[in-house]
């Protein structure tokens, strides 16, 4: 039987995937532990005392959130070449919540936050046909730090014991502090550039869990950008940007909210 030899860099490519899998397991376990008590209340006939009854009656309430994110890019191309591959990683975010009660089932929310993420773009060699290139030219690391500002409408069901499911959606804008928009260097100097400002729409769902002293809310949200975010290189035939008709961000957030 032949023995397969792998170069060190080939093994290293699996390390980020192992880390991502561990983070997914931690998130799932946290969600299950948080919802276990409330799920039991749903299916029991025993009368359960309601926690913090007056919280949802406040006109204005405040809180904070933290969580994980995974950003991606959606590409549209000018020519039918190989896709640009996006290696996604889990990022981290945190922020504040301002909640305005409209009625018993609807709330208007402002959730400013800071989001950290990294995406790696892998180009196929066909993009460099007839050109000299090295391995570094096939990879672009896109690190982003977003100041994210969404305005959201939260629509809830009637509260059942100590939990209340909801859906949420709205629009948001984000300022990318790592965009390189004003950098005069482009990909020919190793600099991948993006638009500084982006407009998104967001959709998600979650469940409010009324604990003894505060409300804890796990939720999942998807975001999709409206605008093209790539800044093209000076060379119109650039292998990194010449074939890209449009590049738009999309992503998934896993939020844990405390109010």
Query: pLDDT digit string (tens) for 171-190?
Result: 999 999 999 998 999 998 88
CA distance 133 to 131: 6
CA distance 134 to 185: 19
User: Which of 119, 122, 128, 126 shows the shortest CA–CA distance to 82?
Assistant: 126
CA distances for 135 relative to 6, 124, 132, 214, angstroms: 17, 11, 11, 52
* Exposed e or buried b per residue across 3-20, where buried means at least 16 C-beta atoms within 10 angstroms of its C-beta: eeeeeeeeeeeeeeeeee
What does pTM read for this prediction?
0.78
Interval 197-218: pLDDT, tens: 999 999 999 999 998 888 999 9
Residue 14: pLDDT over 90: no
What does DSSP assign to residue 84? P
Average pLDDT score over residue span 37-50: 50
Number of Cβ within a 10 Å radius of residue 93: 19
Interval 74-128: pLDDT, tens: 999 998 888 999 998 899 999 999 999 999 899 999 999 999 999 999 999 988 8
What average pLDDT is seen over the chain? 84
Fold of 8-258: Porin (2.40.160)
Question: Do 105 and 156 meet the contact criterion of CB atoms below 8 Å apart?
Answer: yes
């Amino acid at each position: 039987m032949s023995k397969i030899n792998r170069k060190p860099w080939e093994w290293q490519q699996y390390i980020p995937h192992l880390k991502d899998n561990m983070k997914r397991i931690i998130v799932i376990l946290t969600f299950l532990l948080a919802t276990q008590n409330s799920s039991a209340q749903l299916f029991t006939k025993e009368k359960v005392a309601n926690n913090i009854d007056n919280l949802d009656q406040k006109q204005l309430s405040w809180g904070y959130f933290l969580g994980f994110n995974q950003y991606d890019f959606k590409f549209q191309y000018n020519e039918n070449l190989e896709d640009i591959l996006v290696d996604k990683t889990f990022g981290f975010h945190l922020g504040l919540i301002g909640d305005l009660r409209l009625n018993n089932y609807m709330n208007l929310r402002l959730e400013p936050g800071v989001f950290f993420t990294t995406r790696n773009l892998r180009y196929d060699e066909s993009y460099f046909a007839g050109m000299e290139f090295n391995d570094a030219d096939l990879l672009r690391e896109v690190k982003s730090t977003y100041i994210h500002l969404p305005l959201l409408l939260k629509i809830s069901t009637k509260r059942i014991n100590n939990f209340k499911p909801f859906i949420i959606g709205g629009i948001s804008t984000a300022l990318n502090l790592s965009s390189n928009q004003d950098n005069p260097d482009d990909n020919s100097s190793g600099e991948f550039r993006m638009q500084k400002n982006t407009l998104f729409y967001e959709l998600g769902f979650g469940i409010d869990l009324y604990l003894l002293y505060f409300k804890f809310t796990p939720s999942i949200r998807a975001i999709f950008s409206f605008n093209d975010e790539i800044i093209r290189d000076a060379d119109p035939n650039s292998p990194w940007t010449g074939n890209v008709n449009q590049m738009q961000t999309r992503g998934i957030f896993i939020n844990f909210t405390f109010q």
